[in-house]
Amino acid sequence: MRALSFVILGGLLLLLPSPARAGGHALDPAQIEAARSPEQHDALARGFQDRATEAKQLAEDSRAMSKAYARTDAADRMVKAAHCQQLATEYEELAREYQALAEIEQASAKR
């Protein structure tokens, strides 16, 4: 179930505006493989930080949706609210993982 949740989250993140299109820092496997210089590692760190920020925002949005569902009079409101709360929890975990990658890349940039 947890693996499926991360697959779903990954799919949801694809719906976000691309950092490259939004003027942010793009991340791709080739960039990761080619990173040798401090500047390249800094760029990766910024990209991972951007993704962490996006995931944090999605967590906040999901918590707000959970509260909104809970206030409705729909018979299944608590089921919907629980799903949104679960998404918030998973987005928070995703943000922590991206933040950890950003910190690792920042350390690599200082070597």
Angle at 87 between CA 82 and CA 89, to 5 degrees: 95
pLDDT score at 23: 41
pLDDT score at 91: 98
Q: Structure tokens of 33?
A: 């493989």
Asked if residues 44 and 31 have their Cβ atoms less than 8 Å apart, the reply is yes
pTM: 0.76
pLDDT score at 86: 98
As to burial, measured by CB atoms within 10 angstroms (0-12 exposed, 13-18 middle, 19+ buried), residue 13 is: middle
Positions in the chain short of pLDDT 70: 1-26
pLDDT score at 42: 96
Could you state, in order of their start, the residue ranges of all structural domains in the chain? Answer: 1-8+43-111
Identify the residue whose tokens are 């991360």: 6
pLDDT score at 111: 85
pLDDT score at 3: 55
